Amino acid sequence: MKKSKNLSRLQRRRRVLARGTKKIPRLAVFKSAKIIYANLIDDVNEVTLISVDSRQIKSKKYDKVVAEKVGELVAKKALNNKIKSVVFDRGGYKYHGKVRALAEGARKGGLKF
């Protein structure tokens, strides 16, 4: 029997899950059908430090350009909060397309992985 896409993603997620701290938080990515989310999470205190999604970009499209802008926005907010490096958690998604564009946007914005 063939595995579903979601089951495969959840298995990859368990395998690649990283942990973040207050100094070096986890940049977690989640994609839905229309929105891409990026959160900076402190796993030690179980607190979300920064949350950004594609609705804040004010674009009707959902493509790589919007994902890159989300990455730049999360980097800008992180630098304002004196966070310079993060641990990237792709959430079990393959590192291509929108997830890669978000990561490159965050790097372009000044975050170090």
Averaged pLDDT score across all residues of the chain:
88
**Residues 41, 29, 72, 107, CA torsion sign:** positive
Q: What is the pTM of this model?
A: 0.83
The pLDDT tens digits of the residues spanning 85-100 come to 998 988 878 899 999 9
Task: Show the 3-state SS of 85-100.
Answer: ECEEECCCCCCCCHHH
111 touches 40 (CB < 8 A): no
Per-residue confidence in pLDDT tens, the chain, 113 aa = 677 888 887 777 776 666 777 788 989 999 998 999 999 998 888 899 999 999 998 887 888 999 999 999 999 999 999 999 998 988 878 899 999 999 999 999 999 98
CATH of domain 5-109: 3.30.420.100
Cα 56 to chain centroid distance, Å, stands at: 15
Give percent of the chain with pLDDT exceeding 90. 55
Domains of the chain, by residue range, sit at: 5-109
Residue corresponding to tokens 């402190």: 42
**Nearest Cα residue to 91 out of 56, 39, 24:** 39
